[in-house]
Amino acid sequence: MSFLTASWKKLCFANYTIDPEILKPYVPAHTELDFYEGKCYVSLVGFLFDDVKLKGITIPFHKRFEEINLRFYVKYFNGKIWKRGTVFISEIVRKPAIAWVANLLYNEQYSVFKMHYKHDLTDEENFFSYGLDFEENWQLFQVATATKTHNYKPGSITEFITEHFWGYSKKNKNQTWEYEVRHPIWEAYKVLDYEVIFDFGKIYGSKFNELSTRDPDSVQCMEGSAISIEGKKLIKK
């Protein structure tokens, strides 16, 4: 049985090129940074968690909630193939039980804040807004899209950002947790406009200050799907 099942819906990504040296302290043992066309990326991601179950069991009051995370991309060679995965610098939710379980069992970096998710769907466009209340200031990631989805191009930045099907987290300097994230290929919405109002330095640390004054290098919005997170495995070699 999968560790967690859910639906991830209306996933919005703001992607920033970044100096790889900034990310090296966060790279788990036995993995290495993954690059797209020679560039290293971090992504601010907002999405809706829905129909959440742990080991097939629904946790009261934790079935539907939003998440905002900051993540980057790595790969791991298991002796036969390269596995492409993500590492989370920070994951923010408003549900404490989810944060507690993920931090305890998967050594993730969850924290709990007051948050919101808003959407406005019309015949002309979709509007999605993800926000968190940090020191009484709302940090926002908002995206307007076309109403219909489409398939993205193979080899595109969208494929690179969305098709990482493994998660990695540090256990210690020599050991890493690995877990599989299963979902079908997602369809994309055409992004019409976006707004990122985020104090990256205050929320994620001074190393990320400069992201607050930059436009993202790309923005995507994906429809999402049902997903499952499988049990963890320890990489220690």
Whether the per-residue pLDDT at 181 is higher than 80: the answer is yes
Mean pLDDT, to the nearest integer, of 217-225?
98
pLDDT given for residue 61 in this prediction: 66
Domain tally, the chain: 1
pLDDT given for residue 189 in this prediction: 98
Range of the domain at 166: 4-235
Under a CB-based contact definition with an 8 Å cutoff, are residues 222 and 184 in contact?
A: no
Whether the per-residue pLDDT at 78 is higher than 80: the answer is yes
Choose between 158 and 95: higher pLDDT: 158
pLDDT given for residue 108 in this prediction: 78
CATH number at residue 99: 2.40.400.10
Under a CB-based contact definition with an 8 Å cutoff, are residues 217 and 147 in contact?
A: no
For residue 185, give Cα distances in angstroms to 8, 34, 57, 151, 222: 12, 20, 26, 9, 10
Q: What is the pLDDT of residues 12-41, one digit of tens each?
A: 999 999 999 999 999 999 999 999 999 999
Q: Which two tokens stand for residue 127?
A: 């509007």
pLDDT given for residue 98 in this prediction: 76
Banded model confidence at residue 104, pLDDT cuts 50, 70, 90: confident
Nearest to 51 by CA among 63, 42, 66: 63
Q: What is the mean pLDDT of the chain?
A: 93
Cα–Cα distance between 140 and 95 in angstroms, integer?
A: 19
Choose between 10 and 94: higher pLDDT: 10
Q: HSE of 191 in the Cβ direction (CA atoms, 13 Å)?
A: 19
Chain-centre distance of CA 11, in angstroms? 8
Mean pLDDT, to the nearest integer, of 178-206?
97
Banded model confidence at residue 105, pLDDT cuts 50, 70, 90: low
Whether the per-residue pLDDT at 88 is higher than 90: the answer is yes
